């Protein structure tokens, strides 16, 4: 370890330092070096001891929470592929097929995203920050499996450049970058992001065809158009349904939520209140289903409120997207309101929006814009309390 | 019967290196110094030059803007050196101490019979005035003002903090005399905060003429700022003074004996100190005699004060005016392979993402205290604010700490005022700085914010 560090310090570092051949690429070297070694920086001002946590570990914990969803997503892609083709396949075959489809998306996401981040850091002469580590994993997990890789790349580029770097980089963005990537893909290439062609890979080998009666629609798509679905609530809970790669299994999302809540890195306040918000909207729909304008919508509105949370990306969005501390509400009280309205709007949009059955993306992006307003009012309450105290004092005197 | 206030938010950081509760044999005082860097925002003027003979209580420096406020020598002897820094700023005035201390005579007096002005004049002339800190802004108190209250914290909850009962032992009479004098300075109460769960020692237990409130909970329960926030928060236009109990004793001696007798007791703490005990010494004493041969080898950090708010000094350094302990830690200059990834149990963290959480749980179950041997490594690099809700866990004020810090960073004076900047000083934010994931220099930011506020508001 010491030898490796000495090698880096003595042989490599000088090239990147002031006056070195590659000085312009200093942020790249620094990024790699600090990835390998936590630097021996000591506290120079203020407190002399510091907490053992840093942003790298924080981000890493979120990635850990996402891993079960990623692995399950790979298997699920293969599973649905072979069912569509009517071909028997072993668990490993299903998993490997899925991995071959999904891993390139992960590679493209990290490659393009980190590449752009490095580029910006080199141009600005900043240190590389860790923000993209989580976004890079989230983006492939919320894409349909059939999306071309170049679209993933473009979406990532949009998210990194327009979603983050123009605001100043990690910690400065106002929208969740991963969701921006999805929103970009959705509005730019709608035929690749919705409908019933994209969720299951039906690329056929020679002499094969998809089985008769195959429908590639997601459970949520079914519900939105017909009011019913062939997938049971248990299927949806376990995640054996078509959908974006990582979002189908509520069970595994809950496992991730467990890790995030336990470590304190994801806000339980946001998650809890989003579930309450979703349940409230679901219940309202249950009550008013009889007034629906069409039988399909009536059936959709009548879906038991708790089942609404099993379909689509609701759980995934609530646990991994809504809890983004940068784009979400930052005051503890504000987090309750922020989460509640995310849940509420997610279910409302999904039921009422005829163009798009998934509401969580728009709900979170909308609440991203509202988060500063929520915080503003929470903070104003504190300010008013202080002003009232002063007024009382002055009156008393 | 005094009230008990429970402080919930905060954290006790148990470090290796607590001082044994016994006094070490007295060491001779060779040199002592007054360090202008201890006193923020004062424009100093020298009252002596190198080679001058001084007594204990002879002014070495004074405040250019408030000439009656003197900074006096704690020992008698010869002015050995005036150490200057950039732009000829005075860093230290060192005095070579006589074997026997001779004192300036300020005349003894019963503070109960003195007028407020006479008390102020006596304290200012004898070098006791800088002991009073003023909030807002955390500066030396302005003798022209009358504070609405004076707060004294009778316990220290910082990591490795000394036992104030021991620090103040045997000073009952002087402490009471000091309190009698201080009581004349405020239009309101003198508040004394005590630890609800530990013995406080005779000096504090027997005092009269103060309002005692007890506090229970983790650090920062012992910070005077927390006491102010609980009992009488500072509104715009109000002034509160604070003073350390050991300084009250020195003031008491001034009135009882008529001299500036700056003897205090300190604790030698920290993992790298070999013989950790309490010592009798003097304000501004040179640290070398205490540390010589008493610290382990390797690269160390010597801190005058505690690990949260103390000042980094060299082995040739001097005890700070407001410090009651000296701490020595290892410098954390070694890079750590995959340090951000590998879960090591010897790192302290309030986050449950590190294994120290499990150690804290084990501590609760077994009742055995786990102590951390921490160094000065920051465990990561500076980043923008990303994680939210973290400061709030250790910040027991009705204030939004992150929002206030951001207002300070952007220099938004009105917002700073609205968010409660008058109520806080740097030390109140020290734990926020410790737990910060983004390694933001919090206390430095607060100081800059306070300076800007003072400049703008006058």
pLDDT value of residue A221 = 84
List, in sequence order, every beta strand (DSSP E) within B238-388. Answer: 240-242, 263-269, 278-282, 300-304, 311-313, 325-330, 336-337
Q: What is the pLDDT of residues B6-28, one digit of tens each?
A: 999 999 999 999 999 999 999 99
| Alpha carbon separation from A316 to A267, A319, A322, A363 (Å, rounded) | 14, 5, 9, 13
Residues B268-284 have a mean pLDDT of 96
The better pLDDT of the pair B392, A169 is held by: B392
Q: Read off the pLDDT of residues A216-250 as tens digits, 9 standing for 90 and up.
A: 888 888 888 888 888 899 999 999 999 999 999 99
Residues of A within 8 A of B392 (CB-CB) are 332
For residues B124 and B181, what is the distance between their CA atoms, to the nearest angstrom?
13
The reply to whether A170 touches chain B by the CB within 8 Å rule is: yes
Whether B433 and A60 lie within 8 Å, measured CB to CB:
no
pLDDT tens, residue by residue, B163-198: 999 999 999 999 999 999 999 999 999 999 999 999
Report the phi/psi class of residue B152: left, alpha or beta, with left for phi > 0 and alpha for psi in -120 to 50.
beta
Contact B84, B90 (CB under 8 A): yes
Q: Say if CB B247 and CB B28 are below 8 A apart.
A: no
pLDDT tens across B242-272, in order?
999 999 999 999 999 999 999 999 999 999 9
Which residues in chain B touch residue A267, judged by CB atoms under 8 angstroms apart?
A: 388-389
Q: What ipTM was predicted for this assembly?
A: 0.94
DSSP string, B426-437: GGGGHHHHHH-T
DSSP string, B94-117: EEEEPSS--B-------GGGS-HH
Q: What is the pLDDT along chain A (397 residues), one digit of tens a residue?
A: 678 888 888 888 888 888 888 888 888 888 888 888 888 899 988 999 999 999 999 999 999 999 999 999 999 999 999 999 888 999 999 999 999 999 999 999 999 999 999 999 999 888 888 889 999 999 999 999 999 999 999 999 999 999 999 998 888 999 999 999 999 999 999 999 888 888 888 877 666 778 877 888 888 888 888 888 888 999 999 999 999 999 999 999 999 999 999 999 999 999 999 999 999 999 999 999 999 888 888 889 999 999 999 998 999 999 999 999 999 999 999 999 999 999 999 999 999 887 777 889 999 999 999 999 999 999 999 999 999 998 888 887 6
Q: Encoding tokens for residue A69?
A: 């969803």
State how far Cα B118 lies from the chain centre: 27
pLDDT at A202: 83
Query: Given B303, B341, B439, which is nearest A50 (Cβ)?
Result: B439
Return the pLDDT at B15. 95
Q: How far apart are CA B176 and CA A282, in angstroms?
A: 68
Partner-chain contact B332 A40, CB within 8 Å: yes
So what's the pLDDT on residue A3? 84
Rounded-to-integer distance, Cα A232 and Cα A252, Å = 17
d(CA B291, CA B306): 16
Closest CA to B79 of B100, B108, B103, B50: B50
For residue B6, what are the β-bridge partners? Answer: B216
Closest-approach residue (CA) in chain A for B346: A52
Give the length of chain B: 458
CA-based R_g, chain A, Å: 24
The answer to whether the CB atoms of B329 and A49 lie below 8 A apart is yes
CB-defined contacts A:B, below 8 A: 209
Residue B194 near residue B339 (C-beta atoms within 8 A): no
Q: What is the rounded distance in angstroms from the CA atom of residue A79 to the CA atom of residue A98?
A: 8
Of the candidates A38, A52, A332, which has its C-beta nearest B349's C-beta?
A52
Select from A1, A42, A263 the Cβ nearest to the Cβ of B332. Answer: A42
The answer to whether the Cβ–Cβ distance between B333 and A40 falls below 8 Å is: yes
CA dist., res. A151 & res. A186, Å (int): 10
Q: How far apart are CA B446 and CA A79, in angstroms?
A: 57
B233 vs A contacts (CB less than 8 Å): 389
CB contact under 8 A, B301 and A379: no
Residues in A touching B15 (Cβ below 8 Å):
49
pLDDT at A207: 63
- Min Cα distance A179 → chain B (Å) is 17
Q: What is the rounded distance in angstroms from the CA atom of residue B303 to the CA atom of residue B315?
A: 10
Q: Is A53 within 8 Å of B349 when comparing Cβ atoms? A: yes
With beta carbons under 8 A apart, name residues in chain B contacting A129.
383-384
Separation of alpha carbons B205 and B247, rounded Å: 17
pLDDT of residue B2: 60
CB neighbour burial string for A8-31, b if at least 16 within 10 angstroms, e if fewer: beeeeeeebeeeeeeeebbbbbbb
How many whole angstroms separate alpha carbon A170 and alpha carbon B385? 9
Task: Return the ∠ at Cα A93 (arms to A247 and A317), rounded to 5°.
Answer: 5
Residue B68 CB-half CA count within 13 A: 13
Per-residue pLDDT band at B364 (split at 50, 70, 90): confident
Angstrom distance (rounded) from CA B55 to CA B71: 13
Q: Is the pLDDT of residue B296 over 70?
A: yes
**B419 contacts A383? CB cut-off 8 A:** yes
Name the closest residue on chain A to residue B358, using Cα atoms. Answer: A263
How far is B363 from chain A, CA to nearest CA, in Å?
18
> Do β-strands B325-330 and B263-269 pair in parallel, antiparallel, or remain unpaired?
parallel
Q: What DSSP string runs through B245-287? A: HHHHHHHHHHHHHSS---EEEEEEESTTBSS--EEEEETTBBS
> CA B293, B298, B304 angle in degrees (round to 5)?
65
Over the stretch B29-69, which tens digit does the pLDDT of each residue have? 999 999 999 999 999 999 999 999 999 999 999 999 999 99
Mark yes or no for CB contact B381/A54 under 8 Å.
yes
Chain A residues close to B370, C-beta within 8 Å: none
pLDDT at A39: 87
CB < 8 Å to A58, chain B: 351, 353, 386-387, 437
Residue of A47, A130, A325 with shortest CB distance to B443: A47
> What is the longest distance spanned by two Cα atoms in chain A?
93
Asked if B398's CB is within 8 angstroms of A385's CB, the reply is: yes
Structure token digits, residue B410: 């952007």
Cβ atoms within 10 Å, residue A222? 21
Of B320, B281, B285, the closest CA to residue B303 belongs to: B320
Mean pLDDT over each residue of chain B, to the nearest integer: 94
Contact: A386, B433; criterion CB under 8 Å: no
Q: Which residues of A touch B426 (CB under 8 A)?
A: 46
Structure tokens at B213: 């409130």
Rounded to 5°, the CA angle A361-A366-A369 comes to: 135
**Which of A51, A60, A332 is opposite residue B392, by nearest beta carbon?**
A332
Is pLDDT of B208 > 60?
yes
Q: Which two tokens stand for residue B178?
A: 């000091």
DSSP B338: T
Residue B127 scores a pLDDT above 80: yes
pLDDT at A397: 61
What integer pLDDT is reported at residue B337 of this predicted model? 86
Find the closest chain A residue to B347 by CA distance. Answer: A52
How does residue B131 score in pLDDT terms, banded at 50, 70 and 90? very high
* DSSP letter, residue A14: H
Picking from B307, B347, B352, the nearest residue to A262 by CB comes out as B352
Q: What is the DSSP letter of B53?
A: E
Alpha carbon of A390: minimum distance to chain B alpha carbons (Å): 6
The per-residue pLDDT for A218 is 86
Inform me whether the pLDDT recorded for B79 exceeds 90: yes
**Closest residue to A263, CB basis, from B333, B352, B444:** B352
How far from chain centre, in Å, is Cα A136?
Answer: 9
Which of A2, A9, A49 should be substituted to probe chain B, the one whose Cβ sees the most B Cβ atoms within 10 Å? Answer: A49
Position A206 scores a pLDDT of: 61
pLDDT tens for each residue of A337-387: 999 999 999 999 999 887 777 889 999 999 999 999 999 999 999 999 999
Query: In chain B, what percentage of residues exceed pLDDT 90?
Result: 89
CB proximity A123 to B under 8 Å: no
Q: Are A346 and A367 in contact (CB under 8 A)?
A: no
Q: Quote the CA–CA distance of B450 and B261 in Å, as a whole number.
A: 32
Give per-residue burial for B429-438: e unless 16+ CB within 10 Å, then b: bbbbbbbbbb
pTM flag (> 0.80): yes
With beta carbons less than 8 A apart as the criterion, state whether B47 and B59 touch.
yes
Element (H, E) at A188: helix A177-188
């Amino acid at each position: 370890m010491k030898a490796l560090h000495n090698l880096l310090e003595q042989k490599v570092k000088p090239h990147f330092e002031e006056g070195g051949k590659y000085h312009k690429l200093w942020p790249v070297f620094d990024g790699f070096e600090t990835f390998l070694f936590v630097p021996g920086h000591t506290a120079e001002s203020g407190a002399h001891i510091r907490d053992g946590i840093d942003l790298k570990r924080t981000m890493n914990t979120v990635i850990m929470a996402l891993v079960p969803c990623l692995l399950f997503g790979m298997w699920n892609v293969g599973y649905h592929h072979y069912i569509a083709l009517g071909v028997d396949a072993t668990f490993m075959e299903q998993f490997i097929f899925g991995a071959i489809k999904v891993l390139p998306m992960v590679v493209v996401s990290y490659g393009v995203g980190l590449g752009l981040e490095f580029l910006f850091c080199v141009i600005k002469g900043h240190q590389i920050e860790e923000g993209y580590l989580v976004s890079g994993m989230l983006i492939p997990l919320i894409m349909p499996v059939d999306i071309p890789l170049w679209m993933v790349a473009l979406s990532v580029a949009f998210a990194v450049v327009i979603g983050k770097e123009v605001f100043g980089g990690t910690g400065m963005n106002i929208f969740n970058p991963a969701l921006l990537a999805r929103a970009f893909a959705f509005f730019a290439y709608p035929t690749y992001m919705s409908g019933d062609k994209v969720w299951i890979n039906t690329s056929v080998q020679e002499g094969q065809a998809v089985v008769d009666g195959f429908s590639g629609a997601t459970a949520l798509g079914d519900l939105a158009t017909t009011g019913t679905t062939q997938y049971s609530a248990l299927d949806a809970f376990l995640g054996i349904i078509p959908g974006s790669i990582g979002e189908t299994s509520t069970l595994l999302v809950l496992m991730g939520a467990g890790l995030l809540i336990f470590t304190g890195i994801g806000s339980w306040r946001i998650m809890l209140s989003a579930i309450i918000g979703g349940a409230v909207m679901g219940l309202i729909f249950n009550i008013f289903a009889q007034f629906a304008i069409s039988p399909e919508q009536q059936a959709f509105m009548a879906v038991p409120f708790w089942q609404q949370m099993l379909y689509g990306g609701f759980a995934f969005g609530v646990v991994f997207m809504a809890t983004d501390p940068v784009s979400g509400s930052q005051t503890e009280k504000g987090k309750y309101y922020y989460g509640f309205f995310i849940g509420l709007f997610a279910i409302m949009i999904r039921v009422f929006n005829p163009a798009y059955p998934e509401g969580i993306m728009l709900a979170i992006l909308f609440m991203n814009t509202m988060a500063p307003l929520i915080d503003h009012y929470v903070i104003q309450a504190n300010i008013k309390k202080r002003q009232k105290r002063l007024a009382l004092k002055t009156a008393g005197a | 019967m005094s009230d008990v206030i429970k402080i919930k938010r905060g954290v006790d950081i148990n470090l290796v290196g607590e001082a044994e509760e016994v006094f070490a044999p007295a060491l001779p005082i060779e040199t002592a110094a007054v360090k202008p860097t201890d006193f923020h925002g004062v424009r100093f003027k020298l009252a002596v030059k190198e080679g001058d003979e001084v007594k204990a209580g002879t002014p070495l420096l004074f405040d250019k803007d408030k000439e009656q406020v003197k900074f006096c020598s704690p020992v008698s002897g010869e002015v050995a050196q005036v150490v200057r820094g950039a732009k000829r700023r005075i860093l230290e005035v060192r005095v070579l101490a006589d074997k026997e201390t001779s004192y300036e005579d300020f005349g003894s007096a019963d503070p109960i019979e003195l007028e407020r002005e006479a008390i102020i004049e006596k304290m200012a002339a004898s070098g006791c005035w800088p002991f009073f800190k003023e909030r807002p802004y955390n500066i030396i108190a302005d003798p022209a003002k009358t504070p609405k209250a004076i707060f004294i914290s009778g316990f220290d909850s910082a990591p490795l903090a000394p036992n104030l009962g021991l620090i103040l032992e045997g000073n009952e009479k002087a402490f009471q005399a000091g309190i009698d004098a201080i009581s004349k300075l405020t239009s309101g109460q003198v508040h004394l905060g005590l630890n609800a769960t530990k013995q406080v020692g005779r000096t504090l237990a027997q005092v009269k003429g103060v309002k005692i409130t007890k506090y229970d909970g983790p650090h920062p329960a012992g910070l005077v700022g927390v006491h102010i926030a609980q009992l009488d928060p500072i509104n715009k236009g109000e002034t509160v003074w604070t003073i350390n109990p050991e300084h009250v004793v020195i003031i008491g001696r001034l009135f009882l004996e008529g001299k500036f007798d700056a003897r205090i007791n300190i604790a030698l703490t920290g993992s790298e100190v070999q013989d950790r005990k309490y010592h009798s010494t003097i304000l501004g004493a040179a640290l070398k005699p205490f540390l010589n041969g008493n610290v382990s080898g390797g690269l160390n950090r010597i801190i005058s004060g505690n690990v949260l708010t103390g000042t980094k000094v060299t082995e040739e350094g001097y005890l700070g005016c407001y410090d009651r302990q000296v701490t020595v830690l290892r410098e954390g200059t070694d890079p750590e392979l995959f340090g951000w990834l590998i879960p090591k149990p010897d790192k302290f963290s309030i986050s449950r993402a590190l294994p120290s959480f499990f150690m804290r749980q084990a501590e609760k179950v077994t009742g055995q205290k786990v102590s951390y041997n921490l160094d000065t490594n920051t465990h990561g690099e500076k980043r923008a604010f990303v994680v939210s809700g973290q400061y709030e866990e250790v910040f027991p004020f009705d204030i939004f700490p992150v929002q206030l810090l951001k207002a300070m960073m952007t220099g938004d004076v009105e917002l700073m005022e609205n968010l409660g900047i008058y109520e806080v000083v740097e030390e109140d934010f020290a734990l926020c700085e410790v737990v910060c994931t983004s390694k933001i220099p919090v206390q430095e930011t607060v100081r800059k914010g306070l300076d800007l506020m003072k400049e703008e508001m006058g």
